[in-house]
Structure 1
Amino acid sequence: MRPRDCGPLVTAGVQILQNLRGAWMLRRDIEPGGAQLHGDAVFARFGEGALAYRESSILTLADGRVFSACRQYRYRLSEDSVVVEFADGPHIGTQFLSVSFSRTDTGLEASGVYACGDDTYHATYRILGPAAFEVVIMVQGPAKAYELVSRYSRSG
């Protein structure tokens, strides 16, 4: 039995999802190659214990060509971890990552790995505070070798 003055027990995953809800500005650097992506991302409630993520952005390649881009994921709680699933493209509903956060000197951090054919995606999430986080994804495979560094800051 818990003392009456204690608030509800909140897991790290619940706290992470609560903190992610809302609108974010997004900047993504893609190396090598010098491409940059700028746009907006929104985490919206999607049922109990889940968020729908949608980013809308402009991708500028090193040669100056410009493209519009969008991406969607679902973030949901699963015991002590946060599961990230594809919400668009050919793999809708497929798990991309399952990550468990732990405290570091700079905030909270979690890592996960996704295998797609011969390619491997190593992702690291860093929660830097209530108004900033970043996601670093290193992609390695027979015909791929690049890094995506996505930096998010609170909109408004």
Structure 2
Amino acid sequence: MHISLDQFEGDWQLARIIEDRRNDIEGRLSGTATLTRVGPLELHYAEEGELVYGQQAAMLATRRYIWRGFEGEHAGKIAVEFEDGRPFHVIELDRLMPDDDHHCDPDFYHVSYDFTRWPLWESIWRVVGPSKDYRMISRFERV
């Protein structure tokens, strides 16, 4: 199976679980993620959903990223950047279960993607640092 940047374009139903191990709290987000084409090799990722974190009142949560594809020897990879263009991580689409790391001193982020049930897919983040210790599982399904 070969997945390309183009196949992510469009709307996705998003379900997320956050397992906060430091505070022994679970969070749940239900919402949507939309990837919009802005250039031949660029999608803008925007997610919005309702987040319930522990016993707190529900709140609106949003995230925005830039997904950039490559040509040539790096084709099959997506560079995920923060909204301001700073590098975040890389998704290697030639692997069904790619992973990558991101260091944001003093915290460490590790992501694993799972494309084995495409077009259902998920990302699993493990985040550790002096004040962070959580696992975040996000599941995406075509709308």
Alignment TM-score > 0.5, same fold: yes
CA deviations over 1:35-79 (Å, ceiling 9, x no partner): 100001111112121111000111011204111011001111232
**Which of the two has higher C-alpha Rg?**
1
Query: Which structure shows the bigger proportion of residues in strand conformation?
Result: 2
For residue 86 of structure 1, what is the amino acid of its counterpart? Answer: F
Structure with more relative contact order (C-alpha pairs < 8 Å, separation 6 or more):
2
Q: CA deviation at 1:145?
A: 0.5
TM-score, with structure 1 as normaliser: 0.80
Unaligned runs of 5+ in 2: none
Matched residue count: 134
**Superposition RMSD on alpha carbons, in Å?**
1.4
CA distance in 2, matches of 1:42, 1:18: 13
CA distance in 2, matches of 1:60, 1:124: 24
TM-score, with structure 2 as normaliser: 0.87
For residue 20 of structure 1, what is the amino acid of its counterpart? Answer: F
CA deviations over 1:129-153 (Å, ceiling 9, x no partner): 4431101010011111001100011
CA distance in 2, matches of 1:122, 1:128: 19
Q: Which structure 2 residues correspond to residues 1-156 of structure 1 after superposition, within 5 A?
A: 15-32=3-20, 33-78=25-70, 79-80=74-75, 81-87=77-83, 92-103=84-95, 108-155=96-143
CA distance in 1, matches of 2:118, 2:137: 19
CA distance in 1, matches of 2:115, 2:104: 26
Moved over 2 A (4+): 128-131
Paired-residue identity, %: 31
